[in-house]
Amino acid sequence: MVESARQSQEPQNPEELYRYLLDRVTHMETRNLELREQIRQIESDKRYIETQKIRYEREVRKLKSEIEQLRSPPLIVGTITDVLDNGRVVVRSSAGPRFMVRSSMCIDPEKLKPGVRCTLNQQSLAVIDILPESYDAQVYGMEVIESPEETYADIGGLDLQINEIREAVELPLKKPELFERVGIEPPKGVLLHGPPGTGKTLLARAVAHETNAHFLRVVGSELVQKYIGEGARLVRELFDLAKKKSPTIIFIDEIDAVGASRTESTTSGDREVQRTLMQLLAGMDGFERRGDVKIIGATNRIDILDRALLRPGRFDRIIEIPLPDVQGRVAILKVHTRKMNLDGSVSLEEIAGLTEGKNGADLKAICMEAGMFAIRREREAVSREDFLDAIEKIGQDFERHVFKSGYGAMFA
């Protein structure tokens, strides 16, 4: 039908026929081009879909293997205690007993050493993999990454003590050759002791600020743990980390929590504290004197400290931080009033004279209270009167607390 219709339209005249054919040919050619373009388009779509398919297949495989892994039984974590020949090793699982097992061929024999942690198959206890060395997250938490803000300039008085601690801690870290030349061994550890609130923690923080050493800070009570052997392990990991990161300063604040003298007491809690102390002693003995690890301890109860901690080779430089005298108090007041707006009537010497027996923390509180009084009285500068009221207020608060609780000294 179509053919016949077309034929009927076909021109008879050769001229027209020629034009008509030319027309048709051009038309066909453009059509051809169009179709080719479409083919290309479709082919590229096809390719795209194929890669897409491959991607999804890969994803499916990955998810399947993930599911497989999630379904596989857990591995036991153990420690290698001995390496025998022929791929046999002795392991101790976390549960306690020791086993002789085989190790996987895929493990680098170099890494198979006593003391490393490994994973064990649940049934055969074969060593599957070696785990990287790890420290307790708690130990990492002790590292002070940003150095503290305090500097020696923030400490009022205590010039002698600052000098001593610089000699004992900074000098061996910065200029070890001085000690070598003279042929003496620098102190290993420094113990700061004195009444509460006199600036022991402050001093240690300032030392950390002024040296470039890594600073590990731990409070004695953090080392007292719930389970047997945990405290000792923490101490061991702390010292390991210190050695690895050296130069390092370890600061153990309130060391009396673990360092109290060993008694005959028999509660298991006390024994755990003693185990921790013994690990601490062993750790301190393990350092080279000229090494890059220094220990600073701080306590306000030196009287209850175990003598073993204080013998030479451990905390062999003992620095007393006493309650400030008049000059000391003036210096501390100067530090804390540095940024305060004082009027002409204030004499720091007079205030120092009126605060006999107060420590640095009290003086800081007095300065703050004086500022509060000034604010309450709607003045911009702090006057002598504000300070006198503040001294009275702090004195009263202090007495009330001491008589009510009686725990003041213990938890200061």
State the residues that interact with ligand ADP by CB under 6 A. 155-158, 196-202, 298, 332, 335, 360-361, 364
Among 198, 201, 248, 279, binds Mg ion (CB under 5 A): 201
Closest approach, Cβ 350 to ligand ADP, in A, equals 19
Which of 156, 144, 161, 158 is closest to 211 using CA atoms? 144
Task: Give the total of residues touching Mg ion (CB under 5 A).
Answer: 1
> Which residue's C-beta sits nearest to ligand ADP?
360
- Based on the number of CB atoms within 10 Å of its own CB, is 116 exposed (0-12), middle (13-18) or buried (19 or more)? middle
Phi, psi angles (nearest 5°) of residue 249: -115, 125
| Residue 259, contacted partner among Mg ion, ligand ADP, none, CB below 5-8 A by kind | none
On whether the CB atoms of residues 154 and 282 are closer than 8 A, the answer is no
Closest approach, Cβ 199 to Mg ion, in A, equals 8
How many of the other CB atoms lie within 10 Å of CB of 255? 30
| Residue 197, contacted partner among ligand ADP, Mg ion, none, CB below 5-8 A by kind | ligand ADP
Nearer to ligand ADP, 320 or 350 (CB): 320
Nearer to ligand ADP, 217 or 364 (CB): 364
Q: What angle do CA 321, 327, 332 make, to 5 degrees?
A: 65
Does residue 198 bind Mg ion (CB under 5 A)?
no
| Residue 176, contacted partner among ligand ADP, Mg ion, none, CB below 5-8 A by kind | none
What 3-state class would DSSP assign to 147? Answer: coil
DSSP 85-120: STTEEEEEETTS-EEEEEB-TTS-GGG--TT-EEEE
| Residue 155, contacted partner among ligand ADP, Mg ion, none, CB below 5-8 A by kind | ligand ADP
Terminal alpha carbon distance of the chain = 112
Phi, psi angles (nearest 5°) of residue 194: 155, 175
Q: What angle do CA 354, 360, 363 make, to 5 degrees?
A: 45
Nearer to ligand ADP, 275 or 317 (CB): 317
| Residue 383, contacted partner among Mg ion, ligand ADP, none, CB below 5-8 A by kind | none
| Residue 291, contacted partner among Mg ion, ligand ADP, none, CB below 5-8 A by kind | none
Nearer to ligand ADP, 200 or 275 (CB): 200
Query: Which residues in this chain contact Mg ion in the complex, by CB under 5 A?
Result: 201
